[in-house]
């Protein structure tokens, strides 16, 4: 009997120790940072647990699965959406949200992630359905803003705050994509042609301006050169004139210089006719006087330097 009683007592002690351990395990809870727990007491909401150590009443209090209070990112699969011009486009969306009220997120909605997905799809169809394809492709910021406003207002009572909604991709039908690519290619070709024409125009303008400036500078250079040549010739003539008057030349020297100047009149390839001045006779007469030392007068047969000397008579 003693052995049997000792064994029974040992079993009871073991069971008691196990029971105490189970009670302690179920009573003590540690809530991690950025997590929240909802406690139910006898099936009714009792309180929300914050991060840290907490004590529960075993078999009375029940801790529901912890909720993540950090901002979450959920990417939804592509959704077919019909635009205003009856084109079906596939749109991928990404929603950024955060649980702000663990109690509402637990009791106000069964599955808040699925609810956000369905609400996003419905709102997206309503927003894009009022836009044509071109507006839908170029108004992403506007669509994002409208989606965020509607989702944030609807999910507020669920204890969820939607911070951002982004459209990852908007894929139109393949036939529309081909047309858009052709249109974009034509637009790029048009812009390239315009830029080329503008460049040619500017080049022609600059070339003409350069030629005009060159012509003006050349004309100014020729004018200045002509003025300088005229000034030089005028100064040379003045110096010659002054030298002649200072030297007091006689008629013989002047006639000789006049004859030396005559050949220069015929210089140049454009002179086809040489006109002999009327003063040539006077010049020749002066030269003859200088060479002969006499002043022969004109004869009946002509006089001067080129008159033949009369033949002497024998015995004269």
Q: 3-class SS at 145? A: helix
The predicted pLDDT at position 66 comes to 92
Low-confidence ranges of the chain (pLDDT < 70): 1-5, 177, 180, 241, 244, 247-316
First to last CA, the chain: 214
pLDDT digits (tens, 9 = 90+) for 79-102: 888 888 888 888 888 999 999 999
- Residue 306 CB partners (closer than 8 Å, separation 6+): 284
Give me the torsion for CA of 99, 101, 107, 110, rounded to 10°. Answer: -10
Which one, of 66, 72, 69, 70, lies nearest residue 31 by Cα?
66
The domains located in the chain, with CATH, are: 2-67 (no CATH), 71-172 (3.30.479.30)
Strands (E), the chain: 28-31, 35-41, 44-49, 52-55, 61-63, 67-68, 72-82, 88-99, 160-171
Strand partners of residue 29: 54
The predicted pLDDT at position 279 comes to 58
CA distance 63 to 40: 6
Q: 3-class SS at 9? A: helix
CB count in 10 Å sphere of residue 67: 19
Burial 273-297 (b: 16+ CB within 10 A, else e): eeeeeeeeeebbbbbbbeeeeeeee
Cα angle for residues 28, 32, 33 (degrees, 5° grid): 145
pTM: 0.52
pLDDT digits (tens, 9 = 90+) for 211-233: 888 889 888 888 888 888 888 87
């Amino acid at each position: 009997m003693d052995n049997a009683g000792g064994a029974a007592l040992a079993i009871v002690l073991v069971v008691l120790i196990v029971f105490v351990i189970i009670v302690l395990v179920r009573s003590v809870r540690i809530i991690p940072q950025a997590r929240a727990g909802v406690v139910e007491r006898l099936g009714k909401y009792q309180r929300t647990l914050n991060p840290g150590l907490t004590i529960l009443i075993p078999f009375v209090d029940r801790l529901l699965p912890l909720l993540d209070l950090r901002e979450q990112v959920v990417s939804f699969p592509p959704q077919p959406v019909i635009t205003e011009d009856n084109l079906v486009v596939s749109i991928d969306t990404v929603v950024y949200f955060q649980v702000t009220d663990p109690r509402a997120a637990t009791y106000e909605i069964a599955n808040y992630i699925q609810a956000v997905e369905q609400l996003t799809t419905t709102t997206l169809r309503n927003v894009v359905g009022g836009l044509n394809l071109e507006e839908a492709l170029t108004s992403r910021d506007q669509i994002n803003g409208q989606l965020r406003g509607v989702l944030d207002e609807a999910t507020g009572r669920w204890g969820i705050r939607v911070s951002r909604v982004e459209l990852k991709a908007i894929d139109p039908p393949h036939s529309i994509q081909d047309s858009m690519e052709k249109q974009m290619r034509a637009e790029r070709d048009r812009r390239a042609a315009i830029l080329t024409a503008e460049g040619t125009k500017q080049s022609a303008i600059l070339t003409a301006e350069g030629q005009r400036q060159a012509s003006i500078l050349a004309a100014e250079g020729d004018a200045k050169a002509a003025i300088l040549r005229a000034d030089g010739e005028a100064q040379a003539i003045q110096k010659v004139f002054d030298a002649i008057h200072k030297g007091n030349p006689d008629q013989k020297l002047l006639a000789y210089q006049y004859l030396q100047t005559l050949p220069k009149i015929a210089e140049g390839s454009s002179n086809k006719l040489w006109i002999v001045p009327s003063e040539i006779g006077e010049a020749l007469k002066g030269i003859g006087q200088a060479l002969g030392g006499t002043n022969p007068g004109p004869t009946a047969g002509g006089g001067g330097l080129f008159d033949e000397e009369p033949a002497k008579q024998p015995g004269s």
